[in-house]
C-alpha cells in the first residue's frame, strides 16, 4: 500500500515552510546535522525584494512567508516536525523525512 500523502494534514503554508526548511537543512553551511538525525538551521533567510534565496534556489517571498509566521512553527512543533517553536529552528528526524510533495513545485535555481 502506498504511503498516504500529507498524513499530518499540513496546510499549504506549513508544507511550503517545511520544504524550504528541509532545503536549508541539507546545506552544511547553513545547518548542523545531529547524530540522532535532527537538523538545526543556523538562520532563516530574509526576503529582499520579491524573492528569498534558499540554498541554491530562489523562491518567491510569498512562498517563504511562513518563515516569519510564529503560528506555522507552533503547528509544525505540535505535529512533531520541529522542536519547540522558536529560534534556532531544529527539524526533527520526522521533519527532515516528511514528504511534502512540493520539492519541485516552486523551487528554481538562482541565477545570481
SS3 for the chain, per residue?
A: CCCCCCCCCCCHHHHHHHHHHHHHHCCCCCEEECCCCCEEECCCCCCECCEEEECCEEEECCCCHHHHCHHHHHHHHHCCCECCCCCCCEECHHHHHCCCCCCCCCCEECCC
Cross-strand pairs, 41: 31
Q: Tell me the pTM.
A: 0.88
Expressed as residue numbers, the domain containing 69 is 12-109
pLDDT at 46: 86
| Residue 6 lies inside a defined structural domain of this protein | no
The 10s digit of each residue's pLDDT in 77-97 is 999 999 986 789 999 999 999
Buried b (16+ CB within 10 A) or exposed e, 75-97: bbbebebbbeeeeebbbbeebbe
pLDDT at 105: 65
Which parts of the chain sit beneath pLDDT 50? 106
pLDDT at 108: 54
| Total number of domains in the chain | 1
pLDDT at 5: 84
Cross-strand pairs, 93: none
pLDDT at 45: 87
pLDDT at 3: 65
pLDDT at 1: 55
Amino acid at each position: 500500500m502506498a504511503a498516504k500523502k500529507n498524513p499530518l494534514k499540513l496546510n499549504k503554508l506549513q508544507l511550503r515552510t517545511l520544504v524550504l526548511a528541509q532545503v536549508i537543512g541539507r546545506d552544511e553551511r547553513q545547518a548542523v546535522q545531529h547524530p540522532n538525525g535532527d537538523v538545526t538551521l543556523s538562520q532563516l533567510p530574509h526576503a529582499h525584494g520579491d524573492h528569498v534565496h534558499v540554498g541554491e534556489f530562489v523562491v518567491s517571498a510569498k512562498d517563504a512567508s511562513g518563515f516569519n509566521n510564529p503560528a506555522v512553527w507552533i503547528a509544525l512543533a505540535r505535529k512533531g516536525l520541529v522542536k519547540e517553536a522558536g529560534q534556532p529552528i531544529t527539524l526533527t528526524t520526522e521533519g527532515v523525512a516528511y514528504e511534502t510533495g512540493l520539492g519541485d513545485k516552486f523551487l528554481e535555481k538562482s541565477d545570481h
